[in-house]
Amino acid sequence: MATTADFRNGMCIEYNGQLYFIVQFQHVKPGKGPAFVRTKLKNVSTGKVIENTFSAGVKVQEQRVERRPHQFLYNDEAGYHFMNMETFDQVPIAKDLVDNPDLLKEGQDVEVVYHADTETPLMVNLPPFINFEVTYTEPGVRGDTSSTNSLKQATIETGAIIMVPLFVNQGDKIKVDTRDRSYSERVKE
């Protein structure tokens, strides 16, 4: 059992019979009344983020999770297939457990989070930034610079559509933030 004093980002807890990751927390000591902890919790099964307030000192059931390196192999009707980089076992994982599955490239290294007690995969985390080649976008116009805030659609090598600045052209390599699917920068060869 853990208390609110043990909270940290990424901690997995059981709350209302479901597993949640703590995304954010803040200890608050108001002038009047008891202290409390404001949290944002991400439901492991649905991916929804909820806000919740715990009274200070409340006991919660901490769940042990393990993060293991895997490599994406392919996907088919059975799900997404990954190879454990330590044991070289192939593991099929359902699509709904993968964050942004359309950003996965073959051979991409990812982190699979397992529930330590039951050995079941809970979620697949992509690296924060991945480099992609732009396979299609409207051509850039001479004079378009990075100082404008205008964006256009670009299709990347996995088929996903990302919003990019006007100066990005077909064939360019770009860095994409996988957490919010945003353009980060052009990659120099």
Q: What pLDDT band is residue 117 in, cutting at 50, 70 and 90?
A: confident
The rounded percent of the chain whose pLDDT value lies above 90 is 63
- Whether the per-residue pLDDT at 62 is higher than 70: the answer is yes
Mean pLDDT along residues 122-147: 82
Mean pLDDT along residues 143-158: 78
Does the domain spanning 2-62 belong to CATH 2.30.30.30?
yes
Mean pLDDT along residues 97-105: 89
Asked whether this chain's domains 65-125 and 129-186 adopt the same fold, the reply is: yes
CA distance 171 to 7: 45
Fold of the CATH domain 65-125: OB fold (Dihydrolipoamide Acetyltransferase, E2P) (2.40.50)
Spatial neighbors of 74 by CB under 8 A, at least 6 apart, are 80, 81, 106
Q: List the chain domain ranges.
A: 2-62, 65-125, 129-186
Mean pLDDT along residues 20-46: 91
How many other β-carbons are positioned within 10 Å of the β-carbon of residue 60? 18
Residues 161 and 155 sit within 8 Å (Cβ to Cβ): yes
| 3-state secondary structure (DSSP) of residue 9 | coil
Q: What pLDDT band is residue 143 in, cutting at 50, 70 and 90?
A: low
Tell me which residue has tokens 């993060």: 67
Spatial neighbors of 71 by CB under 8 A, at least 6 apart, are 82, 83, 85, 107, 108, 109, 110
Q: What pLDDT band is residue 95 in, cutting at 50, 70 and 90?
A: confident
CA distance 23 to 44: 11
How many residues are present in the chain?
A: 189
What value, to the nearest 5°, has the Cα angle with vertex 184 and ends 180 and 189?
140
pLDDT tens figures, 169-182 = 899 999 999 988 99
- Whether the per-residue pLDDT at 100 is higher than 60: the answer is yes
Architecture of domain 129-186: Beta Barrel (2.40)
CA distance 137 to 59: 53
Mean pLDDT of the chain: 89
